[in-house]
Structure 1
Amino acid sequence: MSASASGRSPETTPDQRILEHACDHLRRFGPKRTTILDIAEAAGMSHANVYRYFPSKLALFDAVTEQWLKALESQLRVIKEGPDPAYDKLERALSAIQKTYRAKLEADPALFDLLCDAIAKNRVVARKHRNKMQGEIQAIVEEGINSGSFRLADRRRAMALVFDLAHRFIQPISIALDRSIPTPDLDFRASRAFAAIQRSLVYGDPDFDL
């Protein structure tokens, strides 16, 4: 069968092919019923060959998680490096996180749940993603402080304010717990929280004791 007939690009590498079939099996059967043997059979290779690229089923699942998070991490980087004022960048970055997670939860719950599991168990893939996300947000906050856009000039307090007030809307496990709330309602509540964060940073809040 040709590459075009199989729906696969001729440039697809073995590890990419494994990830594609892993995603398909996870969506259809969930993590407990997904096996390396089934993925290998679907990819047209031996299970030993799968282990050449991914040493365990958990490592493969984490690679699946890492793969879909790359687009969000890239989006945050573009926002951070853009020409907009820091307060606009911050709102766009927080909204991107909230909307991306919520969309993934709705469209691809099996893969979103893998991220939640990685966070709950403090696995490397979750820590790396959290560090990247926090790093981009911190860079935006520091830009706002350095430019004078943010009156709340204490970096530690500013970061604590952002993540404390935004937590419900940008933490995957919290988002999963809110899955029964209609998306428009959650988007509205998130936008109010992000606006409150912007106001506190731009105008300062001397009575806000962290």
Structure 2
Amino acid sequence: MSLRQSLRPNASEPTADQRILELACAHLRAFGPRRATIVGIAEAAGMSHANVYRYFPSKEALFEAVTLLWLKPLEQQLHVIVQGPDPAGDKLERALTALQNAYRRKRDDDPVLFGLLCAAFERNEGVARRHRNRVQSEIQTIVEEGIGSGAFRIQDRRRAMALVFDLAHRFVHPVSIALDKGFSSADMDLRASRAITVIQRGLVYGDSDFDM
């Protein structure tokens, strides 16, 4: 059987790019991003490194794809929350909670891959920018829904978005979550809950203290 035939997708086998991503994840966890190489991943996949480059044009592109692999379900979860029937205030709480929980689980259970995302945020690289834009877009949809329905008294979308992300930053920014690793989950849950309550109060009541 030729390599092309062996890589043909079927119901029981992953496609070549999926297999490469799986092996890339394993190599990253074993060796870290600096020591993980395209050559090593290709050898584990039983193919040449040139064949890996057919699917991912660079090591950086492969690492971005690895990061997107675990971010995509989170982004889909946020979209489901935003499109649901709940009131805007409840949606906002669920979305912010989903974000922090997903990041913290990844930080604790898969620190190497979470570190890739943090590094991308620190360098403002493509996968981080795209993920941030998607998150902000979903939150903006909630904010606009709350303003349109009259549930949120703050009418300026820009100010409302600033309120949300300024107060929630510690709990929804990957780098901040990485820095908070020494705190207990119970402590961070309580702090995040308080922050979300303040955000909701500012949006719902439009207190002058929050109308930035």
Give the equivalent residue in structure 1 for 2:182: 180
Q: Deviations over 1:58-97 (max 9, x none)?
A: 1100110011100110000000000000000000000000
Residues 111 and 95 (structure 1 numbering): CA distance in 2 closer, same or farther, change over 3 Å?
Answer: same
Give the equivalent residue in structure 2 for 1:108: 110
Give the equivalent residue in structure 1 for 2:199: 197
Residue 88 of structure 2 contacts residue 143 of structure 2 at CA under 8 Å; is this kept in 1?
yes
4+ residue segments displaced more than 4 Å: none
Alignment of 1:42-121 (within 5 A): 42-121=44-123
* Aligned with residue 23 of structure 1, among 22, 25, 48: 25
SS at match of 2:183: coil
SS at match of 2:160: helix
Aligned partners of 1:9 and 1:107: how far apart in 2?
Answer: 29
Give the equivalent residue in structure 1 for 2:160: 158
1:144 aligns with 2:150: no
Give the equivalent residue in structure 2 for 1:129: 131
Residue 168 of structure 2 contacts residue 195 of structure 2 at CA under 8 Å; is this kept in 1?
yes
Seq. identity, %: 68
TM-score (norm 1): 0.94
SS at match of 1:191: helix
Aligned partners of 1:139 and 1:124: how far apart in 2?
Answer: 22
User: Gapped runs of 5+ residues in structure 2?
Assistant: 1-9
SS at match of 1:71: helix
Aligned partners of 1:24 and 1:187: how far apart in 2?
Answer: 31
In the TM superposition, residue 184 of structure 1 has moved relative to its aligned partner by 1.4
Of the two structures, which has the highest relative contact order with CA contacts closer than 8 Å and spacing of 6 or more?
Answer: 1
Residue 154 of structure 2 contacts residue 211 of structure 2 at CA under 8 Å; is this kept in 1?
no
The amino acid across from 1:21 in the alignment is L
Aligned partners of 1:47 and 1:157: how far apart in 2?
Answer: 49
Aligned partners of 2:87 and 2:29: how far apart in 1?
Answer: 40
TM-score (norm 2): 0.93
How many residues matched? 203
Residue 163 of structure 2 contacts residue 210 of structure 2 at CA under 8 Å; is this kept in 1?
no
Q: Deviations over 1:34-65 (max 9, x none)?
A: 11111111111111100111111111001100
The amino acid across from 1:48 in the alignment is A
SS at match of 1:16: helix
Residue 42 of structure 2 contacts residue 49 of structure 2 at CA under 8 Å; is this kept in 1?
yes
* Aligned with residue 32 of structure 1, among 29, 34, 49: 34
The amino acid across from 2:48 in the alignment is S
Give the equivalent residue in structure 1 for 2:171: 169
RMSD over equivalenced CA pairs, Å: 1.2
Aligned partners of 1:120 and 1:100: how far apart in 2?
Answer: 19
Residues 141 and 96 (structure 1 numbering): CA distance in 2 closer, same or farther, change over 3 Å?
Answer: same
Aligned partners of 1:207 and 1:43: how far apart in 2?
Answer: 58
